[in-house]
Amino acid sequence: MIHCIKIYLVKASRITVSCSILIASLIGSSSCENDVGPVIIEPENPSTVSYSQDIQPIFNSYCSSCHDEFHQYLDLRSCCSYDQLLNSGFNAPYLNLDDPQQSRLYRHLNGDLLIMPLFGSLPDYEIELVLQWITEGAQNN
């Protein structure tokens, strides 16, 4: 008999991985007549945004081609972006943990300041992810 189970891994209130797994016993059947439905696996703290897994990939995709070691204000390459945002970037800090919506980084991304990236804006869900990360304390995790 084959049991069909759908597994969803949920992170930060969004589905990040979805897959279907067929679990077969020694005596097989070729249908999913005994489908046991979806199984939701939640991480221990689903609201935590990871800097290395969620935020830095945004910088890698949209920012670091201009904001590199030669940029006069801010280097957003993975080797130094966190320190640049908080300490060593020109006009740092770019994050306001007391009022995350007033963070320079967030205000550039949402267009309150000169919109970044210059070639167009990030998708809204990625801008909100950056805001959530700042709201959660902008951990280097």
Q: Cα dist. 7→21, 35, 45, 58, 119 in Å? A: 7, 12, 18, 26, 38
Q: Which pLDDT belongs to residue 122?
A: 95
Q: Is the dihedral of CA 98, 56, 76, 58 positive or negative?
A: negative
Tens-place pLDDT, residues 101-114: 999 999 999 999 99
Question: Each residue of 57-90: pLDDT tens digit?
Answer: 999 999 999 999 999 999 999 999 999 999 999 9
User: Within 13 Å and on the Cβ side, how many CA atoms surround 115?
Assistant: 8
Alpha-carbon distance 64 to 89, whole Å? 14
**Would you state the pLDDT for residue 55?**
98
Domain boundaries, the chain: 2-41, 51-135
Q: What is the pLDDT of residue 120?
A: 86
Query: Which pLDDT score, from 0 to 100, does residue 24 have?
Result: 37
- For range 24-46, the mean pLDDT: 56
Q: Does residue 121 or residue 46 have the better pLDDT?
A: 121
State the burial class of residue 30 (Cβ atoms within 10 Å of its Cβ: 0-12, 13-18, 19+).
exposed
C-alpha span between 125 and 122 (Å, rounded): 8
Alpha helices, H only, 1-135: 56-62, 81-83, 104-110, 124-135
pTM metric for this prediction: 0.68
Provide the pLDDT for residue 44: 59
